[in-house]
Structure formats: C-alpha cells, structure tokens
Amino acid sequence: MPRQVEIVLEDCIGCQACVDLCPLVFQMDSTGDHALVMRSDLTGQEECVQQAIDDCPVHCMHWLE
Ligand code: SF4
C-alpha cells in the first residue's frame, strides 16, 4: 500500500517550505496559514516529500504507514 503523508495542522507555521520543495503534493490553504496535502497518490513524489519532511522547521509532517 502506498505511503501517505500527514501534516499536523495545529503545528504548521505556514512557512511554505514544503510547497516550494514539492508543489505537486503540497499547497497553502486559502488563508495561507497552513500547508495542505493535495493528493493521495504520491507515486514519483516520495523523494521530495521525504525532503519536505526532513526540512520542515517544526517537524509537523510525517509518513502514515
Ligand atoms: S514546511 Fe512544515 S511548517 Fe512549513 S508550511 Fe510545510 S508543513 Fe507547514
């Protein structure tokens, strides 16, 4: 089963780093306060998602196994 990524929204500070790294997966919400996961099929996006997880300054993103 493909892995999914989750953002803990209450911890996200809206820095947009994940959106810059992985725009096909992450987008800012309409308020610009949080990033959202825009797709469930991460095929071909695993590397940039991992990079986004590693670089998130507040560590609010993680894989769901
Ligand atoms: S990198 Fe982390 S804190 Fe920054 S917008 Fe993405 S999920 Fe939020």
pLDDT tens digits for 17-60? 999 999 999 999 999 999 999 998 999 999 999 999 999 999 99
Task: State the residue range of the domain holding 32.
Answer: 4-64
| CATH number for 9 | 3.30.70.20
Check if 12 has its Cβ closer than 6 Å to any atom of ligand 1: yes
* Nearest-10 Cα torsion for 11, 53, 19, 21: 150
Dihedral sign computed on CA atoms, order 40, 17, 13, 27:
negative
Report which ligand 1 atom has the smallest distance to the Cα of 17.
Answer: 1
pLDDT band at 2 (very low <50, low <70, confident <90, very high): confident
Task: Give the per-residue pLDDT at 1.
Answer: 66
Domain count, the chain: 1
The per-residue pLDDT for 22 is: 97
Report pTM.
0.94
d(CA 9, CA 20): 18
Taking only the tens place, the pLDDT of each residue in 28-40 is: 999 999 999 999 8
